[in-house]
């Protein structure tokens, strides 16, 4: 009897549509993106956190692969999200999940721009961009052109500058010179105009396309804030990186301290817990805790809200697991960033500190302070 039940259960597992599992996998994988892009893929103002929710699935996949292959350069993202270990399925799942997130109904995620001349930007857009990015700004699949509406203006501005300075290839065409003749003010005006297109999408635009293998949009589609990621797993509250093979605790420490100094983070304390206990003949796996702080950032955060002081100073622990493997870990500041709607200047600071701490961890994990 038991055998029959097991057999039936296995059959069921095999014959269940793998569809829903894929989005579940996507949601799971998104936890490693949430650190920088926000729990809902909403991004933040500032150039370091583009919005990725609601982007077309194909574009998200292409972008991730572009970073892995070095066509777009942001090694910290590849490393932190472990993109090199993604299977095709993983790329597909996380992109499908993110592309199914619709933030348009939630006013708190509205894009705003406080700078630039919207009318000037509109003129340029109408003449030079709409052919590929569409008149509503939501992109054209036939041109592989992504939506620009709904994206954070600072990221758009920085990206256009990157195109102009040939740091990134625009329109998948190395010869593209769309941006070479514009002035800085044009980029500012374009970004200002694009910010006004947020939430005006035409439903036939491709940003609305359902993931191709999703069960149905009604079931899975327009996820709203309250259904999204909850902290259910203690591991989700931390970010971890294993030390690369051959990197000793001393090497990792040296690299972290060098990196911290380079980017203006002060090491304010270090507790060598296992070493301390060893002197009393108590053994335990390696554990040491580093504390970093940038006084000016601390000032800004605390003046915005004293609750942030409880997160300070930022900690990175170096810890050995039961298999003797060494890890660097820190609190996932994303929870803090998403904990409430912060004023822009504080979100930017929180994201920057988050990135700096990740930089320090990445240096430690690699055992060298330059990548
Ligand atoms: C360490 C922070 C970090 C992590 C973790 C991270 N990203 Fe990113 N991501 C960035 C930054 C910063 C950029 C913009 C870089 C640039 O200017 O090209 C970016 C860009 C992107 C883009 C391109 C956006 C666009 O509009 O072209 C996509 C798509 C993306 N990330 C997806 C992901 C996914 C999916 C994950 C998780 C599997 C992830 N990222 C994890 C920081 C991160
Ligand atoms: C010939 C078609 C074409 C034209 C014209 C065009 N674009 Fe693009 N654009 C693209 C494509 C394709 C991509 C995606 C490239 C990639 O996958 O990296 C893109 C990407 C971008 C991005 C990056 C989006 C992101 O999320 O990272 C920005 C910003 C952008 N274009 C702005 C503009 C502006 C502003 C204009 C007009 C001045 C313009 N484009 C004109 C095809 C075009």
Under 8 Å between Cβ of 336 and 352 = no
Separation between Cα atoms, residue 65 and residue 313, nearest integer Å = 35
Identical fold, 19-227 and 234-366: no
* pLDDT, position 342: 63
Question: Do the beta carbons of residue 256 and residue 316 sit within 8 Å?
Answer: yes
Atom of ligand 2 nearest to the CA of 72: 18
- pTM check: above 0.75: no
Among 31, 33, 111, 155, residue to substitute to test ligand 1 (most atoms within 8 Å of Cβ): 33
Give the pLDDT confidence score for residue 339 in this predicted structure. Answer: 53
pLDDT of the residue at 338:
60
For residue 15, the CA-to-ligand 2 centroid distance in Å is 42
The pLDDT value recorded for residue 336 is: 61
- Rounded distance, CA 331 to CA 366, Å? 20
The rounded Å distance from CA 64 to ligand 1 centre is: 7
- CA 116, CA 189: separation in Å to the nearest integer? 4
Q: How many whole angstroms from 73 Cα to the centroid of ligand 1?
A: 10
Locate the ligand 2 atom nearest the alpha carbon of residue 62 and give its number: 17
234-366 CATH:
3.30.310.70
User: Both tokens of residue 368?
Assistant: 């060298």
Shortest CA distance to 29 belongs to which of 103, 102, 85?
85
Ligand at shortest distance from the CA of 160 = 2
Q: What pLDDT score does 181 carry?
A: 94
Please state the separation of Cα 25 from the chain's center in Å.
Answer: 17
Q: Which protein residues are within 6 Å of ligand 2, measured from CB?
A: 62, 124, 128-129, 131-133, 143-146, 148, 151, 156, 159-160, 170-172, 178, 190
Mutation test residue for ligand 1: of 38, 60, 74, 85, the one with most atoms within 8 Å of CB: 74
Ligand 1 lined by 358 (C-beta under 6 Å): yes
pLDDT for residue 187: 95
Which residue do the tokens 């609190």 mark? 331
Task: Tell me how far the alpha carbon of residue 304 lies from the centroid of ligand 1, in angstroms.
Answer: 27
Q: Which ligand is nearest to the CA of 157?
A: 2
Q: What is the pLDDT of residue 201?
A: 60
Q: What is the predicted pLDDT for the residue at 371?
A: 54
Cα–Cα distance, 135 to 201 (Å, whole number): 10
- Which residues in the chain land under pLDDT 50? 1-21, 202-232
pLDDT at residue 219, as a whole number: 32
Ligand 2 geometric centre to CA of 130 (Å):
10
In the CATH hierarchy, which top-level class contains the domain 19-227?
mainly alpha
- Is the CB–ligand 1 distance for residue 361 below 6 Å? no
Q: Where are the domains of the chain?
A: 19-227, 234-366
């Amino acid at each position: 009897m038991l055998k029959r039940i097991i057999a039936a259960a296995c059959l069921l597992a095999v014959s269940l549509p793998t569809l829903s599992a894929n989005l579940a996998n996507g949601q799971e994988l998104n936890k490693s993106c949430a650190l920088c892009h926000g729990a809902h893929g909403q991004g933040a103002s500032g150039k370091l956190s583009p919005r990725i929710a609601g982007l077309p699935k194909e574009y998200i996949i292409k972008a991730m692969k572009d970073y892995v292959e070095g066509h777009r350069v942001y090694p910290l993202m590849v490393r932190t999200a472990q993109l090199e270990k993604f299977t095709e399925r993983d790329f597909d799942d996380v992109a499908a999940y993110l592309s199914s997130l619709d933030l348009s109904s939630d006013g708190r995620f509205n894009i705003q721009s406080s700078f630039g001349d919207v009318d000037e930007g509109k003129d340029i857009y109408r003449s030079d961009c709409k052919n590929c990015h569409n008149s509503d700004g939501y992109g054209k699949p036939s041109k592989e052109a992504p939506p620009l509406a709904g994206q954070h203006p600072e990221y758009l501005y920085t990206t256009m500058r990157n195109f102009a300075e040939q740091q990134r290839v625009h329109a998948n065409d190395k010869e593209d010179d769309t941006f070479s003749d514009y002035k800085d003010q044009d980029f500012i005006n374009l970004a200002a105009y694009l910010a006004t297109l947020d939430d005006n999408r035409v439903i036939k635009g491709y940003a609305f396309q359902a993931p191709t293998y999703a069960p149905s949009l009604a079931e899975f589609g327009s996820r709203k804030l309250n259904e999204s990621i909850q902290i259910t797993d203690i591991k989700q509250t931390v970010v971890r990186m294993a030390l690369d093979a051959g990197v000793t605790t001393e090497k990792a420490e040296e690299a972290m301290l060098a990196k911290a100094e380079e980017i203006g983070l002060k090491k304010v304390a270090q507790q060598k817990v296992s070493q301390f206990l060893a002197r009393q003949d108590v053994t335990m796996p390696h554990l040491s805790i580093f504390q970093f702080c940038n006084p000016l950032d601390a000032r800004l955060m605390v003046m915005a809200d004293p609750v942030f002081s409880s997160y300070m100073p930022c900690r990175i622990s170096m810890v050995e697991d039961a298999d003797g493997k060494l890890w660097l870990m820190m609190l996932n500041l994303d929870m803090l960033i998403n904990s409430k709607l912060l004023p822009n200047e504080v979100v930017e600071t929180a994201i920057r500190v988050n990135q700096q701490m990740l930089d320090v961890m990445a240096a430690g994990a690699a055992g060298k302070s330059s990548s």
